[in-house]
Amino acid sequence: MNRKTIVKFGILIAVVVFGIVFAGCTQTSTSKQVVKLSQTGSSTVLPLAIAWAEYFEGAEISVSGGGSSHGLNALLVGESDLGDASRLLKGSDYEKVGCDPKLVTSEGTASSACKGITPTKWVVAYDVLAVVVNNENTWATELTYDQLYKIFTDDNPAVYWDEVPGLKEKGAPHAKISIYAPDEASGTYDYFFESIIKDWTKSTQVAQTRLDSGDGIYHPSADDNVILDAVKSNNYAIGYLGFAYIMENPGQVKVAKIAKTSEDSFVEASLANVAKYPMARPLHIYTNGIPNKSTDKGKAINEYLNYILSNEGQDLVPEVGYVQVSLVDPTILPSQLEKLK
């Protein structure tokens, strides 16, 4: 064997050896256990959660909806790592799983754990709640809280469109109102009725919802796409849902402008109007305390929240149809990121 052949043979051996070593390293790295996380809850937060989970590379995240109540309950009973909610934690959430409701504060936090779980709130985005009517509706394109109260509560409610104060003059027909909107497990349901019913969920609450009345006019659903399709298909329907679903389905329904009183200006639901639109709200993810980085799962949750609150994670927010936290309050993100340290 000449010198040239020996060199070629040596290189071949080196390549083979490197390949074996590299394959061994690759096998070792890929065999590392992937952290699996469960995230469930609010149908409003769901499109955001899907987007974040898709782009986050630090864990395999299973995302589902079911409503804010479902998400908070799943967290409290240990069935989920992250509970999505478009409303604050309530005393009734604690009570439902056998804990003292008085431990829950008015800020949606808890002064003490519930069966080892300390629900901790993270504000991840803001949402605009849209009141929608059928595209053929020309009489309910501007609505006040008083008019919504007449349609959506059981306090001497309007059965026909021309019974809603001020709408007959705008051409409202003598046609039965049909409501398609979120169910009681939804944080959107809570937020909507908190806006129009005085003392909502308190002992002094002045009215019940149209759903509570049982008159069959309010058709509840946990799926915003079902609500959208129902309003789209019924000339005399009305409903409400997160603005992201309007952005995903442009032109499918008509979005009503809203004013708190007849003295106020009617404001269009849009991401640009979040500061002055009367039905804008924060969206939350709840975790069990501040995620502890000493465990693989805790580290993954911590990194996931860091990603959501980072510039990269927040850049996805308007793309999905929501408002970045910093546009509403620039102090929230830095304070939350500091907690995660």
Per-residue pLDDT for the chain (341 aa), expressed as one digit of tens each? 443 343 333 434 433 333 333 333 444 444 568 999 999 999 999 999 999 999 999 999 999 999 999 999 999 999 999 999 999 999 999 999 999 999 999 999 999 999 999 999 999 999 999 999 999 999 999 999 999 999 999 999 999 999 999 999 999 999 999 999 999 989 999 999 999 999 998 899 999 999 999 999 999 998 999 999 999 999 999 999 988 889 889 999 999 999 999 999 999 998 888 888 999 999 999 999 999 999 999 999 999 999 999 999 999 999 998 999 998 899 999 999 999 99
Same domain, 133 and 262: yes
| Within a domain: 16 | no
Q: How far apart are CA 21 and CA 16, in angstroms?
A: 9
Q: Which residues pair with 299 in a beta bridge?
A: none
* Distance spanning both ends of the chain, measured CA to CA: 64
Strands (E), 55-139: 60-66, 82-85, 119-133
Half-sphere exposure for 71 (CA within 13 Å, toward CB): 37
Please name the amino acid found at residue 157.
Answer: P
User: CB neighbours of 26 closer than 8 A, spacing ≥ 6?
Assistant: none
Neighbour count for residue 323 (Cβ, 10 Å): 24
User: What's the pTM value of the predicted model, to 2 decimals?
Assistant: 0.76
Main-chain dihedrals φ then ψ at residue 289, nearest 5 degrees: 70, -170
Q: How far apart are CA 304 and CA 306, in angstroms?
A: 5
Same domain, 296 and 241: no
| Within a domain: 27 | no
Q: Which of 275, 304, 324 is the last residue of a domain?
A: 275
Number of domains, the chain: 2
Q: CATH number of the domain that 107 lies in?
A: 3.40.190.10
